[in-house]
Amino acid sequence: MVSIGDTAPAFTLTAPDKSKVSLADHAGERVVLAFYPAAFTGVCTAEMCSFQDSMAALNDVGATVFGVSVDSPFANGAFAKENGIEFTLLSDVHRTMITDYGMTFENFVIDGYTVANRGVVIVEADGSVGYVWVCESLGQEPDYDAIVAHCSQ
């Protein structure tokens, strides 16, 4: 798992519009990576909608937010549309990023099915990891106020 002070692992993932998004594209920006297990599930919907509700505050402090799951770009696009999520949801279908960031959750509902664990990593403008939160149970949501407060520093 990444730790505060580490250099954030590079990634290139697919957005719902099939474009590629890389961490390098956002060099010099603070990037909030919100990992979630599965689109269209209860807690994940609440989490992504809560991030959407926090977008004005996060945009005001110049933070860029991405949701990250192992769902397909098509599923993430439908999930975003159905829930009014305006920030980009990225697809890590090969599970490379969740592995590099230490955000894997194994045996999700089905034996052998690995998804993203629920967690938040904030990458600072210099490319270092400045904030890490990982749930103790999948039913737990992050502290959105703490995320906004960190990004406001």
pLDDT (tens digit per residue) in 16-72 = 999 999 999 999 999 999 999 999 988 999 999 999 999 899 999 999 999 999 999
Catalytic residue among 44, 49, 135, 151: 44
Give dist(CA 110, CA 120) in Å, integer. Answer: 24
- The CATH number assigned to the domain holding 146 equals 3.40.30.10
Q: Is residue 27 part of a domain?
A: no
Q: What percent of the chain is predicted at pLDDT more than 70?
A: 100
Number of domains in the chain: 1
Flag whether 122 is in a domain: yes
Q: What is the pTM of this model?
A: 0.95
Residue 45 structural domain: 35-151
> What pLDDT score does 42 carry?
85
Establish if 23 belongs to a structural domain. no
In angstroms, the CA 115 to CA 71 distance is: 9
Q: Does residue 4 sit within a domain?
A: no
Residue 53 belongs to a domain: yes
E strand residue ranges, the chain: 12-14, 20-22, 30-35, 63-69, 88-91, 104-105, 115-116, 119-123, 129-134
Query: How confident is the model at residue 121, as a pLDDT?
Result: 99
Look up 49 and say whether it is catalytic.
no
Is 2 a domain residue? no
Residue 105 lies in a domain: yes
**18 within a domain of the structure (yes/no):** no
How much is the pLDDT for 116? 97
